[in-house]
Amino acid sequence: MAKKASKKNKPIYLLAAATIVILGELFNIFFGFGGMTAPLKAETSVHFIDVGQGDAELILSGGEAVLIDAGPTAAGDTVVAYLKQQGVTKLRAAIATHPHEDHIGGMDKVLKAFPTEVLLLPDKTATTRCYERMLDAAETTGAKVVVPKVDERIFFDSGAQLTFLSPSPEAVYSNTNNYSIVSLLSAGGKNVLFMGDAETEIEEALLRQGTDIRCDVLKVGHHGSSTSSSPDFVERAAPSIAVISCAKDNDYGHPHRETIELLNRLGIETHITADEGTYVYEIPAAS
Ligand SMILES: [Zn+2]
């Protein structure tokens, strides 16, 4: 049954023109380029939730919530409890950056706990149990499964917006990490860049394309692995704060020494969930 359900629920593609209308109408996601962000009408916060070895970030803005990743399977209950504690009752969107267990393992529990308008995924499927569980949960709860395109964005009523920067739907990568949905939150003149597990190949592509990656806060790619965070990229992004999400004494040696040395050398204030737990970045509303 799970197989059948996942086939039926296979991520859908919508042509650009259709995307504007359909997503715009249904999910208030629009296609567009750049532009100034409006004055922020409500306090906005980004919560880098301590989920052990994995990722989960919650964006809260004026009563609206978007979740980027849901941690590993073992952290599903933690993520649900954290969202409830923050007063979340529903999600505008849940973003599964890429189909690795440390990012989507807890997603089925999240979808079952909170009505979710749309589950956003890259066009990269998996045959793993956690992936099947996630798609089954989307189907049973009615969350629409959609592959976002580069430059599409989620607009919050507060004036904040989350723009998708990567991957291009037609791109093919040998490394699943590089399918990570990379997104940039712009709110009240502050930018937070979420890298998922994207590695240097994606960083180079973003630099080559001239994508504006300048940010105040960088969710460091791939748990601080040295396969992400090339000096060029971090220098260009120029964050004042970096956040690394990983577990203490994890099997991968995350974060890697090279990454920490680079962040230190550039004078970037670095927060590591393994050391200090959940980190919250707050952006005040315009006065
Ligand atoms: Zn990961």
pLDDT band, very low/low/confident/very high, at 280 (cuts 50, 70, 90): very high
Gap from CA of 103 to ligand 1 centroid (Å): 6
Gap from CA of 117 to ligand 1 centroid (Å): 24
Residue 127 one-letter amino acid: T
Domains, the chain, ranges and CATH?
Answer: 41-276 (3.60.15.10)
The tens digit of pLDDT for each residue in 28-83 reads 454 444 445 678 999 999 999 999 999 999 999 999 999 999 999 999 999 999 99
Listed residue (252, 254, 251, 245) closest to 277, CA to CA: 245
Average pLDDT over residues 104-120: 98
Confidence (pLDDT) at 36? 55
Average pLDDT over residues 228-256: 97
Contact 278, 82 (CB under 8 A): yes
pLDDT tops 50 at residue 169: yes
The tens digit of pLDDT for each residue in 17-41 reads 333 334 444 444 544 444 456 789 9
Gap from CA of 153 to ligand 1 centroid (Å): 23
Gap from CA of 221 to ligand 1 centroid (Å): 8
Gap from CA of 60 to ligand 1 centroid (Å): 22
For tokens 């203490």, the residue is: 248
Number of Cβ atoms within 10 Å of the Cβ of 117: 19
Contact 71, 79 (CB under 8 A): yes
pLDDT tops 90 at residue 123: yes
* Integer Cα distance of 116 and 118 in angstroms: 6
* Integer Cα distance of 149 and 43 in angstroms: 27
Gap from CA of 173 to ligand 1 centroid (Å): 16
Listed residue (243, 244, 184) closest to 215, CA to CA: 184
Confidence (pLDDT) at 287? 80
Contact 71, 102 (CB under 8 A): yes
